[in-house]
Amino acid sequence: MTIQATINKLEEMKIYGMSRALKSAMELGFSDLGIDELLAHLIDAEYDDRQNRRLSRLLKAARFRYNVSTAEIDFCLTRNFTKDSFLCFSDNSWIQKKKNIIITGPTGVGKSFVASALGNNACIYGHSTLYYKHAKTIFIT
Can you give the pLDDT at residue 135?
Answer: 62
Segments of the chain scoring below 70 in pLDDT: 1, 31, 77-80, 134-141
What pTM, to 2 d.p., does this model score?
0.71
Q: Using CA of residue 139, residue 116, residue 86, residue 79, what is the dihedral sign?
A: negative
**Per DSSP, what are the bridge partners of residue 137?**
104, 134
At 55-74, the pLDDT tens digits run: 999 999 998 888 888 888 87
- State residue 93's pLDDT score: 86
Phi, psi of 84 (to 5 degrees): -65, -45
